[in-house]
Amino acid sequence: MPQTYRFFATTAKGMESLLLQEIQSFGAQDIHETRAGVYFQGTLELGYRACLWSRIANRILLPLATFAAPTPEKLYGGVKQIRWSDHLTPQNTIAVDFSASTGSATSPRSAITHTHYGALKVKDAIVDQMREIHGERPSVNPTQPDLRINVYLNNDEATVSLDLSGDSLHKRGYRKEGHLAPLKENLAAAILMTAGWPEAAKKGASFIDPMCGSGTLPIEAAMIASDRAPGLARAFWGFTGWKKHEPQVWQKLIEEAKTREIHDKKLLPTIIGYDADFNAVRESINNLEHSGMRGKVHIEKRDWSACEPVAPHPLAAASQPEQGPLGLVVINPPYGERIGEMEALKVLHKDIGDGFKKKFKGWQGYVFTGEPELAKVIGLKASRRFVLFNGAIECRLLKYDLY
Ligand SMILES: C[S@@+](CC[C@H](N)C(=O)[O-])C[C@H]1O[C@@H](n2cnc3c(N)ncnc32)[C@H](O)[C@@H]1O
């Protein structure tokens, strides 16, 4: 029987239940949702599968130990209790990510508040133990270490984990530049899942993002429709330098993912990204080229005023009107001071509402915004409102049924 592990998948606040459903679909057992993450159990293959296939997670952690750490010395002592020789050799490189849950400035949740100092203590404990046993110590590589160690401190209790993802999973490995304000890829996936895109795509519904910026939503929509593993283009993982890594298990998953991906464009729905800005279009095309979704997404420079619905895929036309929308039009309009000014943005939001109503009959419209004032100007009644966080900004995904 292969060994069973207990994993922890992290995500952004508000995306936990989507993550839970996703992890469940991977065949995990004993799944528990908690703040900003989900615990689950399974074999190493399941942990690898979560790394390769999770569209919603930030990181997949493998917790090694939890202990009281009210002082730097106790933290050092607790980390030294872990048998690091089980996980690495002195020739390996390491990095330590240390975070502490925040209380208020006057009453922090833990005594150790200085995360750099915490990370240093953890690193010292690991290298001291390795030097005592082997006479040599691992060195530090902050960017691409063989082993990334994650320490989370909450109410003076430390949890030490291995970070199997190695880097945040929202990085799909295709984004090369970015002077725009892109959505994180896992937030884009959360928007699409909340909007029912996976089911709609299977029924042949079309997808348009009329303000696609760097192309995050249409690229993610194409990955979902193609059953493409979101991690397939990533070059770096946190487990390849780990002593217990099982390369043949990982390789099997890669082969499986390659076989699952749908390449026949006739089987895929129409997916479009428009933007009025030339630089955005250029960046979208560049991202598309590197994402493996080339040929599956149409990108074009076009203003919202010229955006029209496209004919549905034969699958969708045949299933109308009982079985769902003809298409989804999903907009993440500019907001805040970073990109546009308020008055112009109000006009744009009013135009969004007008365009939805006049042109997109039989479709579902979605607007993702962090500006309640602008949302009001759309002038249509949202049938549902979902809360999702874009970093620290509380945003709404507003759903409009366009009859
Ligand atoms: C917040 S950004 C979208 C970011 C995108 N979701 C991403 O992940 O990269 C908003 C985009 O709307 C575009 N935009 C603004 N007004 C527009 C209009 N009238 N027609 C089309 N695009 C417009 C901007 O050029 C900008 O790229």
Grade residue 316 by pLDDT with cuts at 50, 70 and 90: low
**Cα separations in angstroms, 369 against 197, 340, 384:** 18, 13, 14
Q: Please give the Cα distance from 291 to 283 (Å, whole number).
A: 12
Q: Spell out which residues line ligand 1, taking CB within 6 angstroms.
A: 180-183, 210-214, 216-217, 275-277, 280, 303-304, 332-334, 348
> Which amino acid makes up residue 79?
V
Query: Which CATH number is associated with domain 5-163?
Result: 3.30.2130.30
Report CA(378)–ligand 1 centroid distance (Å). Answer: 16
Q: What is the atom index within ligand 1 of the atom nearest the CA of 368?
A: 6
Contact yes or no for 364/402 (Cβ under 8 A):
yes
pLDDT score recorded for residue 148? 98
Q: What is the three-class DSSP state of 67? A: strand
Q: What average pLDDT does this structure show over 124-128? A: 98
pTM over 0.85: yes
CA 175 to chain centre: 13
Atom of ligand 1 nearest to the CA of 214: 9
**Interval 181-189 mean pLDDT:** 95
SS3 state of residue 361 = coil
Based on the number of CB atoms within 10 Å of its own CB, is 165 exposed (0-12), middle (13-18) or buried (19 or more)? buried
**Contact predicate 332/261, CB 8 Å:** no
Q: Please check whether residue 70 is in contact with residue 100, taking contact to mean a CB–CB distance below 8 angstroms.
A: no
Residue 334's pLDDT is: 92
Q: pLDDT band at 338, cuts 50/70/90?
A: low
Please tell me the distance between residue 93's alpha carbon and the centre of ligand 1 in angstroms: 41
CATH of domain 185-226+268-401: 3.40.50.150
- Kindly give the distance from the C-alpha atom of residue 80 to the centroid of ligand 1, in angstroms, as a whole number: 50
Neighbour-count burial for 46-75, b at 16+ CB within 10 Å, e otherwise: bbbbbbbbbbbbbbbbbbbeebebeebebb
Place of tokens 């039989």: 362
pLDDT digits (tens, 9 = 90+) for 360-374: 999 999 999 999 999
pLDDT average, residue stretch 288-310? 97
Q: Do domains 5-163 and 185-226+268-401 have the same CATH topology?
A: no
* Residue 101 DSSP symbol: -
Mean pLDDT in the chain? 93
The residue extents of the domains of the chain are: 5-163, 185-226+268-401
What is the per-residue pLDDT across 155-180, written as a single tens digit (0 to 9) for each? 999 999 999 999 999 999 999 766 67
What would the two tokens of residue 71 be? Answer: 């002082």
In this prediction, residue 322 has a pLDDT band, given cuts at 50, 70 and 90, of low
Angstrom distance (rounded) from CA 381 to CA 335: 20
DSSP code per residue over 215-279: THHHHHHHHHHTT--TTTT----SSTTSTT--HHHHHHHHHHHHHH----GGGS--EEEEES-HH
Q: Is the pLDDT of residue 85 over 70?
A: yes
Beta strands in 135-182 (DSSP E): 139-140, 147-154, 157-163
Kindly provide the b/e burial profile for residues 121-131, where b requires at least 16 CB atoms within 10 angstroms of the residue's own CB.
bbbbbbbebbe
CA angle 360/18/245 to nearest 5° reads 130
211, 283, 346, best to mutate for ligand 1 pocket (most atoms within 8 Å of CB):
211
The order of strands in the sheet holding 93-100 is: 29-34, 37-42, 5-10, 59-68, 157-163, 147-154, 93-100, 139-140
Report how far ligand 1's centroid is from the alpha carbon of 332 (Å): 7
Q: What is the sign, positive or negative, of the torsion defined by CA atoms of 369, 375, 379, 382?
A: positive
How far does the centroid of ligand 1 lie from the alpha carbon of residue 210, in Å? 8
Q: What local confidence, expressed as pLDDT, does residue 180 receive?
A: 72
Report how far ligand 1's centroid is from the alpha carbon of 333 (Å). Answer: 6
Of 106, 101, 100, 89, nearest to 122 (Cα)?
100
pLDDT at residue 320, rounded to an integer: 53
To test the pocket of ligand 1, the residue of 214, 277, 281 to mutate (highest count of ligand atoms within 8 Å of its CB) is 277
**Residues in the chain, overall count:** 403
